Amino acid sequence: MVMRRVGQSATYTLLVFFSLIFLIPIYVLLTTSFKPNSEVDIAHMWALPHHFSLASYSAAWAQLGPNLGNSFYLAIIATVLSSVIGAFNGYALSKWKFPGSNVVFPVILFGMFIPYQSILIPLLKFIQAIHLYNTIPGLILTNTVYGLPITTLIFRNFYAGIPDDLIESAQIDGNGYWGVFMRIMLPLAIPGFVVTGIWQFTSIWNEFLFAVSLTSPPHQPVTVALQNLSGSDVVQWNVQMAGAVLTALPTLIVYILLGRYFIRGLLAGSVKG
């Protein structure tokens, strides 16, 4: 018993130690963001602010505010679209057999392994051809399509765990393809929507390559605008850090509010094969 308690204490001590190491950059980020520019230097990097100031947040917000709106517009719509279409795909590929169904799913899944860089030039030409270049709808289309492989995989594996007898009972009651989906599959898929929602929102919010390649000011998401805060001559590190905090807050809030449902969704079968 004594040895077990010693082992637990040592484990917790190590966990706390490594957690503190992990949080060191967060500490520097936050303390720097609340300092006036005169206090920001290497010598005082670890020191708390002598004069607590929100001026850097005001400056960051003035520059990033419109881009935060672009990111919310992009991430929310693209997340909803990719999740809903993924739910349709997963349903069709898991419960309805049709000619070529065993080929369609691997082809869709293959899209997960295509590097962004390899399709960037043809994607750029396509977005220009449909007149969506330098628009948020163009980014919505891009991120929706690129998110379909993972959302389809999650929903297909989730639906695979639902007994076929339940679907057969619904069909006996007179439900067809869409009736089964709307009355049986969709209500049971709420944990799957939580998983894909958190996954897609975070991925789309943090995405940079498509955003910087397909848009220019004032249509850029906040990730690109944050990079532009660095400037060309003098870097205002307090403003840069404040901008990083503002950019990270939405995804942090999502995980704080929905993190437990994300875990439940995974355990409910969202990523089981």
d(CA 240, CA 28): 12
CA 256 to chain centre: 14
User: What is the structure's pLDDT at 1?
Assistant: 67
d(CA 14, CA 19): 8
User: What is the structure's pLDDT at 221?
Assistant: 95
Run means of pLDDT, 10 residues per run, the chain, 273 residues: 77 90 90 88 83 90 93 96 94 82 84 86 94 95 94 88 82 83 85 90 94 91 88 76 93 84 64 44
User: What is the structure's pLDDT at 268?
Assistant: 60
Listed residue (194, 203, 97, 185) closest to 149, CA to CA: 203
Burial 50-76 (b: 16+ CB within 10 A, else e): eeebeebbebbeeebeebbebbeebbb
8 A C-beta contact, residue 35 and residue 53: yes
